Amino acid sequence: MLAIVLGAALVLVACAGRASSDSAASQRTYSSPGFHYAVTYDDAAFAARLESDASGSGLDLLLPGVGKVHADAQVLIVAAKAPASLPQYLRGEFQLTALRPRQAPRRPSLAAFSREPYLRKLRARGWLTSRPREVTLGGLPAFRFTMRFRGVSAVDYALYRGAFIYAINLEAPSKRWPAVGPSLEAVARSFAVTP
């Protein structure tokens, strides 16, 4: 869903993060010094692209699938520090519609998160396939929910850490989810905060 919303508004920008090889055959670690996180991915299955909207905020990392197995799957990580710098279309994705400018993101309760307009819209369209639930990702409390729309299955995570907020979106065609879902979830599980 996030990919559809963001697709038209994004432009490719220079690499702001770093990708480094891991000791495993094709494992790479992407590290984002500006947003203080890292993820590990299989570069035989995914190709890292760093993107941003014109203001330089928003989407930080896109891992589109490559090869026969993952070609139609992707991982998106959207990171933000200053909600005021986010365009309105991203504020909804980040559950920040009620924040005042320059207010640091604060992790809402599960009940408050579940009432967000973005989730209500998904629910009304019949796209939300699970209620948000609390999980831990990278040592941080997170919200996780799933959706299915137009033949695509997706898992979304929202994480809050001090002044930072992260949205992780995993997508693949529904009929292919059993084959590619585990490797998408592996990227999300590798999320780690960095100094």
* Percentage of the residues of the chain whose pLDDT score is greater than 70: 69
Report the C-alpha gap between 71 and 51 in whole angstroms: 19
The DSSP result for 6-28, as a single string, is: HHTT-EE----SEEEE-SSTTEE
Report the C-alpha gap between 152 and 65 in whole angstroms: 14
**pTM recorded for the entire structure:** 0.79
Question: With 80 as the cut, is the pLDDT of residue 100 above it?
Answer: no
- Chain centroid to Cα 133, Å, comes to 16
- Domains (range + CATH), the chain: 2-193 (3.40.1000.10)
pLDDT for the residue numbered 144: 94
The predicted-structure confidence for 136-162, as pLDDT tens digits, reads as follows: 998 889 999 999 999 999 999 988 887
Query: Around 142, how many Cα atoms within 13 Å sit in the side-chain half-sphere?
Result: 24
Q: Which residues pair with 59 in a beta bridge?
A: 78
Query: Around 161, how many Cα atoms within 13 Å sit in the side-chain half-sphere?
Result: 21
Q: Which residues pair with 65 in a beta bridge?
A: 46
Handedness of CA 98, 138, 20, 162 (dihedral sign): positive
* Better pLDDT: 155 or 9: 155
The predicted-structure confidence for 102-147, as pLDDT tens digits, reads as follows: 455 567 888 888 887 778 888 999 999 999 999 999 888 999 999 9
Helix (H, G, I), strand (E, B) or coil at 151: coil
The predicted-structure confidence for 38-69, as pLDDT tens digits, reads as follows: 999 998 999 888 765 544 455 678 889 988 88
* Better pLDDT: 107 or 4: 107
Q: How far apart are the first and last CA of the chain?
A: 30
- Cβ contacts of 21 within 8 Å, gap of 6 or more: 27, 28
